[in-house]
Structure 1
C-alpha cells in the first residue's frame, strides 16, 4: 500500500514551488499574513461507506462500481474552482470526512493535497485529518495515508462493547478498534482522535464509564464524546418507534456526559468544546475554524462551505451546499467546474448569530476582539451588559461576561442549548433596535 515517496510528498514540493512563485509575483511589496477573507479551511467529502450504520442519516452511499479515478479528478477540479472563486490564498487545514474516507485510495488524498498546494499556500505543517473506521484502516493502509500527506487521524470507535457495536451497525469489533488505535498511535503519535458515543438504548452509566476508563488506558490526546441522536429515517429510529428497542433515557445520557467529562478532566484533558477534549495541546485546528466562524470550503458530494465569493467582487458570506448524489455531482463538476447546488447569502444578523452560537461552544467563548471582527459597533457589553437574563446566568455560575469576553463556565458548557435561547433572543432584540426600520412612514 505504500506510495512512492516522490509522488506521495508531491504536495509539499508543489507548495514550496507555489510559494516561490508568489514571492516573485509579489516582489517589491510589503508582505504580511493573509487577511481573514483570504484564509480558509478545506473539507473534502468522501461519500461512500461499506454499509450504512443503524443511527446514521449523513449523505453517504454504498459503493457499487465506483470510478475512483473520475471521482478524484472531480474532487481536484472542484477544489481548484472553489479556491479561485473564494480568493483564498492560504488553506489552514484539510479534513477528509465522510462517509468513510479511509476507503479511498491514498492516491486520491495525495492528488487533492497537491492540487491545493499548487493553487494556494498550504503550509507543510498544516493539519491534514482523515476520518477512519477500524475495518478499513490496517496499519499498512494508515502508513500509506501518512505518506500521502495525512498527519492526523479521527477514528470512529463509537463503543468498546461488541453488543453496542452490533446495535449501531458498525462493521468492527472492540478488538478491531483497539488494534487500529494502537497502529494509529504508532504511526501518528499525539495526533489521533477517537469518538465515543453515549445515550444508546438500554445503555447504563456504570458500564459506559468503564468503557471510557478502558479507552483512557490506551488512547491518544484527543477524545470526542457524542450523544446518540435518533434521526428519522434510520434503522435505529424505526426500531425505537416500533418498540423493538427502548427509547434512550435523556437523564441517563446527561449523567453519562457529566460523569464522562469529569473523568476526562481528572485525566488531564481540557474540554475545549462541548463534545471535544484534548490534552498536550492536541486540539483540532480544523474544527476550531468552524467554531470561530472562519471561512471553510466544502468539496465533494453534499459538502457544506462558508465563504465570501471574492472573484465576483462579493462582500457577503455565503452558505454553500454541494449537490448530494455523487453521480449528479460529478456531472455538474465536469460541466461547470463545481457542483454547488445552493448558495445562501447570510445577513449580518445571521452571521452574528453563528458567531455567538458557535463561539460559546468553546471554553474560550467569544473575546471582545473576535466579536469586533464581525461587529465593530455593537459590542458584547452593549448587547449583554445590562441584560437581566445574563446577570442571572452569571449569578448561577453558568456564564461569564468580563474583560476577556463572553463565555460559558465549565458548568455552563453542559447546558449551552438552554443558555443560547435567551442570548440569541437578546441579540435579535438589540439588532432590531439598532437597525432603523425600512418601512416608510405615512
Structure 2
C-alpha cells in the first residue's frame, strides 16, 4: 500500500512515508488517517516528515484531494501518463486528459510546490514531435516535479498482445533515445534539474522518500507485494534482510490476521548484495555515490579499489561517461542516459574486487565479514 522511511528501525525514527504501488487514492481518506495515526503511535514521526501518495487523476480522486491533505498527506504524485485520450485508452487508464488537467490544477492549489506528475513516453504511434509538444504543454502546467518513464510492455497485457501481433507499433530504439534527450532538454530549459535518471525537480522539490532508496537506506514494506530492506529489530542480528510481502491482497490479509504479518520471503543480504544495490541505485542519481556513503557500507574497500581497475571502466572514465574524483563516483550528463550499458562492467569489477579483498582479509578461522546495515527506509 505504501512505504515508510526510517533512519534506524531499532530507534523507530521515521523520515518519510509513501502510499503507493497500486491506487491508494481509492482508499478512504479516513483509512489513510488511521494508518498515519498508528505509525505515529508506535514510532517517532517528525512534524515536517514527507508523506507522499500516488493518485490517479480521475474526477472522483480529485474531489477528495482536500480530504487526503486533511488526513496528513503532504506530497502528491499524479499518474497523468499522457495528454491524449486515445493513448490513455491504449494504456488502459480510466481517466481522460481533461480530468488529468483538472486534477493537476486542484493538486497544485492544495500541495503547492509538492505536486509531482508521472508521464510515459514511447507510446504506440508516438512521434518525437508530438512528444515534444505534449511535454511543452505539461511543463507550463505542472508544479515542481516530473517523473519520466519509458513505456514497458508487460507480458500478458492486452497492449503487449497488440504489439506482438503488430496491431500497434511502438517507436524504435533510436527514436526512444531521441525522445528521452528531448525531454531532458525541454525540462532543463523550463528550470527542472535532472537529479535522477527518471526524475526532474525545480526549486529543490526532490522526492526525499525515493532518495532513501537510491542512497541505500533501510526501508520497511507493508502491504501486498511490498518489498523491504532492513535490519530486524529484536532478533539480535546485525545483517540486513530483504523481505517480500505476499502478493495477492486477499492472501496477504489472511496471513496478517493469522500470523500477524504478511511476509512471504526473508533473505539475509550479504555485504556484496548491499554494495551491488548501492552501485546500481546510487548511480541513478546525478550526484552519484560519495566516498563517505560507500565507506559506510564498505569500510575495507574504497570506490577506487571496487571499480577503478577494470579496463572497460577506465575506458568509460576516459570517454567521460563516468567520473571518479574526490567527491565519489557518478555518471556524466551523457553517461546518465547510458547507465544500463555501463552497469554490467561496473558490477563485474565490483564482484571481482570484493572477492579479492575478502580472500586477502580472511582470518585463519575462514569466517567472512558481516554485512553492514545502512540507514533506514520503510513501506506501508
* Mean CA deviation greater in 393-402 or 370-379: 393-402
CA contact (8 A) 1:201 1:249 kept: no
Contact preservation (8 Å) 2:309, 2:349? no
8 Å contact kept, 2:57–2:103 = yes
**SS of equivalent to 1:277:** strand
After superposition, residues 29-48 of structure 1 pair within 5 angstroms as 44=2
Aligned runs of 1:9-88 on 2, under 5 Å?
Answer: 44=2, 86-88=9-11
TM superposition shift of 1:138: 4.4
Closer/same/farther in 2, CA of residues 162 and 411 from structure 1, 3 Å limit = same
CA apart distance, 1:44? 1.9
Distance in structure 1 (CA, Å) of the matches to 2:59 and 2:17: 20
Contact residue 55 and residue 78 of structure 2 kept, 8 A: yes
Q: Per-residue displacement from partner, 1:243-294 (whole Å, max 9, x unpaired)? A: 2112442221111001111111111111000000000000000000010110
SS at match of 2:359: coil
Aligned counterpart, 1:252: 175
Q: Give 1:236 deviation, angstroms.
A: 0.9
* Residue in 1 that maps onto 2:161: 238
Q: How many residues align?
A: 363
Rounded to whole Å, the distance in 2 between the matches of 1:97 and 1:222 is: 17
Tell me: CA distance 1:417–1:272, structure 2 relative to 1, closer, same or farther (3 Å). same
From 111, 132, 135, the equivalent of 1:209 is: 132
Asked whether the 8 Å contact 1:274–1:362 carries over to 2, the reply is yes
Tell me the equivalent position of 1:7.
Answer: none
Task: Check the 8 A contact 1:102/1:137 in 2, yes or no.
Answer: no
- Where 2:225 maps in the other structure, the secondary structure is coil
Residue aligned with 2:146, SS? strand
1:314 maps to which residue?
237
Q: Who is 2:295 aligned against?
A: 372
After superposition, what is the alpha-carbon deviation per residue over 1:206-240, rounded to whole angstroms, capped at 9, x for unaligned?
00110000001110000011000112111111111
* TM-score normalised according to structure 1 size: 0.79
Alpha-carbon deviation of 1:355?
A: 0.6
Q: Which residue of 1 aligns with 2:377?
A: none
User: Which residue of 1 is the match for residue 24 of structure 2?
Assistant: 101
1:326 aligned onto 2:249: yes
Give secondary structure in 1 for the equivalent of 2:58.
Answer: helix
What secondary structure does 1:98 align onto?
A: coil
> 1:24-79 deviations in whole A, cap 9, x for unaligned?
xxxxxxxxxxxxxxxxxxx727xxxxxxxxxxxxxxxxxxxxxxxxxxxxxxxxx9
> Hey, what's the Cα distance between the residues in 1 that align with 2:95 and 2:63?
18
Residue 288 of structure 1: which of 187, 194, 211 is its match?
211
Contact 2:242/2:267, CA 8 A, preserved across alignment: yes
Spell out the pairing of 1:151-190 with structure 2 (5 A cutoff). 151-190=74-113
**Structure 1 contact 296–307 (Cα < 8 Å) conserved:** yes
Partner of 1:87, secondary structure, is helix
Please give the alpha-carbon distance, in whole angstroms, between the structure 1 residues aligned to 2:41 and 2:257: 20
Q: Distance in 2 between matches of 1:327 and 1:86?
A: 28
For the residues of structure 2 that align with 1:88 and 1:327, how far apart are their CA atoms? 32
Residue 86 of structure 1, CA deviation: 4.7
Rounded Cα–Cα distance in structure 2 between residues aligned with 1:139 and 1:194: 14
Normalised to the residue count of structure 2, the TM-score between the two structures is 0.91
SS in 2 for 1:224: strand
What is the aligned counterpart of 2:194 among 271, 290, 302? 271
- Where 1:134 maps in the other structure, the secondary structure is coil
Task: Give the whole-Å Cα distance in 2 for the aligned partners of 1:314 and 1:338.
Answer: 19
Structure 2 gaps of 5+ residues are: 367-380
* Partner SS for 1:197: strand
Q: Secondary structure of the equivalent of 1:433? A: helix
> Is contact 2:122–2:170 with CA below 8 Å preserved after alignment?
no
2:326 to 397, 403, 420: 403
- Give the SS at the match of 2:52: strand
Q: Could you tell me how far apart the structure 1 residues matched to 2:37 and 2:346 are?
A: 43
Q: In the alignment, does 2:121 pair up with 1:198? A: yes
- Alpha-carbon shift at residue 180 of structure 1 (Å): 0.4
In the other structure, the counterpart of 1:75 is: none
Using the TM superposition, give the Cα deviation of residue 165 of structure 1 relative to its aligned residue in structure 2, in angstroms: 0.8
| Aligned position for 1:37 | none
Shift of 1:389: 2.2
Q: 1:419 Cα shift?
A: 0.7
Could you tell me whether the CA contact under 8 Å between 1:199 and 1:250 is conserved in 2? no
Change (3 A) 1:137 1:271: farther
Q: State the secondary structure of the residue aligned to 2:64.
A: helix
Q: Which residue of 2 aligns with 1:432?
A: 355
Structure 1 residues without counterparts, runs of 5 or longer: 1-42, 46-78
Q: Displacement, 1:140?
A: 3.8
Cα distance change on mapping 1:112 and 1:418 into 2, 3 Å:
same
